Amino acid sequence: MKEIEITDIEGFFFGQKESEDCHTGCTVILNKDGATAGVDVRGGAPGTRETDALKSENLVDHIHGVFLAGASAFGLEVGTGVMKYLEEAGVGFDVGVTRVPIVPGAILFDLREDDQDMRPDATMGYEAAASAFHHSHLKQGNFGAGAGATVGKGKGPSFSMKGGLGYSAIQIGNVKVGAVVAVNCFGDVVNPETGQIIAGMQKKGTFLNSEEVMMDEVLEGRTNRFRGNTTIGAVVTNAIVDKPAANKLAAMSHDGLARTIRPSHTFVDGDTLFFMGSGKISCDYNSLGVMAVRAVETAVQNAVIHARSTKNFLSAKDL
């Protein structure tokens, strides 16, 4: 197994855009020819677009992009801009009178009290899509859908830390797998090999351990905790997958979240992962799933490792 750049995975184009104040943004992953795709929504508070189209029994076999965005449900507007750009580029499902791009997406919560105007919108989605086709590139940390992300929110913002966007890609033989994840979790981010917390709930630089704090408060009845959270992402591969397999592989990929985010998939997270295959290389699905989990694990850790501190939130690198 070797590490590769995620942009080395054939058929996929990556782009992102942040708001002027860099407190929110979006990330897009495009495929001009259409990728076989699946999705698995595990969190209790999701915000998604067109995920029903990806059910194994439904008609559409390929999608042309996925978007990840901030701003809670307002961020779903990003998909309109991505669709507009793809239609202009002649990319989409041929319906005779035009081509309809199929662009599912998911959002996370990063709304702020001090500025309600800066939200990812159709214009931002259009610009992110254009940048993907012109220069496929991603930055980790405070960029794209991870610009406003935070982690460790069980006791509110004063105890939280900076989250972000991370990616990772690996190759075994001719099979390539990569993951892009915007980490905005309720829980802590941990190193799965050591169990050590990397970023999460803290007080004056000392980690409090979200799971331990929550268990101590089990009788307090606080289900609706600090605002919204959610970790969202996509796994991409050059492997050949059919639609049912893509959905199952999306489900397997969530193991990467469970290993690195504690707790994950809570009532106040909307954890959602997409899986996209460009259909180039045959391989074993079980092995492919293991590779996907490894990529997600590393992407989650990279998101907080590369994050920078802001005025209100400390980053892992500055702890």
Task: Check which CATH number belongs to the domain holding 103 and give it.
Answer: 3.60.70.12
End-to-end Cα separation, the chain, in angstroms: 32
Query: Listing from the earlier edge strand, what are the strands of the sheet with 261-262?
Result: 197-199, 188-190, 261-262
258 forms beta bridges with none
Tally of structural domains, the chain: 1
User: Mean pLDDT by 10-residue block, N- to C-terminus, for the chain (319 residues)?
Assistant: 97 96 95 98 95 96 97 97 98 95 97 79 98 96 98 93 98 98 97 97 95 83 64 98 98 98 95 96 98 98 98 94
Query: What's the confidence (pLDDT) of residue 116?
Result: 66
Which amino acid type is present at position 88? Answer: E
Query: What's the confidence (pLDDT) of residue 185?
Result: 97
Q: Are 30 and 12 in contact (CB under 8 A)?
A: yes
Query: What's the confidence (pLDDT) of residue 299?
Result: 98
What letters, b where the CB count within 10 A reaches 16 and e where it falls short, cover 186-215?
Answer: bbbbbebeeeebbbbbbeeeebbbbbeebe
Query: What's the confidence (pLDDT) of residue 118?
Result: 82
What totals of helices (H) and strands (E) does the chain contain, helices first? 5, 19
Whole-Å CA distances, 171 to 29, 177, 266, 278, 301: 19, 6, 32, 15, 19
Query: Residue 294 sits in which domain range?
Result: 2-318
Query: What's the confidence (pLDDT) of residue 248?
Result: 98
